[in-house]
Structure 1
């Protein structure tokens, strides 16, 4: 019953003229209800010091040119959102929050099938006929809480 209600809300959201920020927020909520947010989602990304919102299809195109990174807590499979990093030269930086949409759980070298950002991005890259390569770099950047943040990086085979 709750899933049916969530699907109804999704159908309503798709019909609305939402701006990219609103689509990002809507996508974040849809993932909580196990609904694939790909058709509505826009994701905040910083590339070459420029903030923008991109669809998963656009992100799947971007990864052909530049690797995409999400800063990750070194303590859990969640993004690290409390940092002052405003850009990363040579990477597209996805800005994240907390919640199911932002979980960074991997099954081996493949994101868990859970409609998270990394799951949706993985599927979008595959849909473009490319093979996503996920890499975890430990101690990638200093953390506000002491120690370092890790980085979950996706690239594609060239």
Structure 2
């Protein structure tokens, strides 16, 4: 991902006086790493919840365990709850979440490795979510998901 995309995110968030919180599962902090790699991020980036386990999704973000039981941790519903939970728990205006299967093995749900859900929450404008299907190595999938999460965020705030 080009630093200019992240720079554009930082600029747009600063113009709106908004802050961003991330909720990351399969990316395990890569969204935060991409944001923090650009000077000026501290003006708008609150931080990231790395919620790799189901327990951390429920305890840190307030995701309803019944929602995960019904829909799975890799689902539109979970991604939406993670993103909105990141906003609510941190008190910021924007949230972005990533939850998926980076491999090499699946989670027993029947979803193929490379399935990722990304959600973006904007206070007052609701939450959008999109499913991605990636191929490649574990780290290729994780990196692509983190980059697409920031692209989704940029598309929502511009």
Q: Which has the larger radius of gyration?
A: 1
Check whether TM > 0.5: no
- Scaled by the length of structure 1, what TM-score is found? 0.29
Considering fraction of residues, name the structure with more helix: 2
- Scaled by the length of structure 2, what TM-score is found? 0.29
Considering fraction of residues, name the structure with more strand: 1
